[in-house]
Amino acid sequence: MHNGAGITAADAGLDAISWNVVGHTYTPKVLSNNAFIWHAVIPAETFVPPHIHPTQDEWIVMLEGELEVEMGGAVHKAGPGDTVRMPMGEAHGIFNRSGKTATCVFGVAPTRKLFELFGALDDITDPAELVRLSALHEVDFLPPPDQA
């Protein structure tokens, strides 16, 4: 599915799609070969473990709340209005340690296999399966620190 000209309503996703990925609600807003953009609701005390997109640049535009992004050996804090840039090949982990829900808009370019990955991960709770499916869709999770 690729969307053309038009408007994706604030309370809607493309084709009424919404996914539960690692406890976050992801709602696709724009999809083409060149870019994939989704709205995210990230509950307090949830996270996306450190991972790498070897074929995509990724960014986050913060709307409400705060996130911490670990990359490059540092913790970067982002709040409303901030944009987080995560270049292709740069390991990053995304954490909501704020005690409050965060909302933001994520994007990747090019789209590659990420849209299909989110469909595959919808409601998956087994970490090993999440890692396996992600690797099949060009997202590589890093081993936990005690296994690195």
Could you read off the pLDDT of 72-95 as tens digits, one per residue? 999 999 999 999 999 999 999 999
Mean pLDDT of the chain: 94
DSSP conformational letter for 41: E
What pLDDT is stored for residue 4 in this prediction? 81
Environment class of 99 (CB within 10 Å of its CB; exposed 0-12, middle 13-18, buried 19+): exposed
DSSP conformational letter for 127: H
Percent of the chain clearing pLDDT 70 (strictly above): 95
Domains of the chain, earliest start first: 15-138 (2.60.120.10)
Would you say residue 3 has pLDDT above 90?
Answer: no
What pLDDT is stored for residue 2 in this prediction? 66
CA 138, CA 12: separation in Å to the nearest integer?
27
List strands edge to edge, sheet with 24-31.
19-21, 24-31, 36-42, 102-109, 57-64, 83-86
Q: Read off the pLDDT of residues 25-71 as tens digits, 9 standing for 90 and up.
A: 999 999 999 999 999 999 999 999 999 999 999 999 999 999 999 99
Would you say residue 148 has pLDDT above 70?
Answer: no
Is 0.85 topped by the overall pTM? yes
CA 145, CA 21: separation in Å to the nearest integer?
22
Q: Which two tokens stand for residue 119?
A: 């469909």
Split at pLDDT 50, 70, 90, the class of 130 is very high
Helix runs in the chain, H state only: 114-121, 127-136
Would you say residue 12 has pLDDT above 50?
Answer: yes
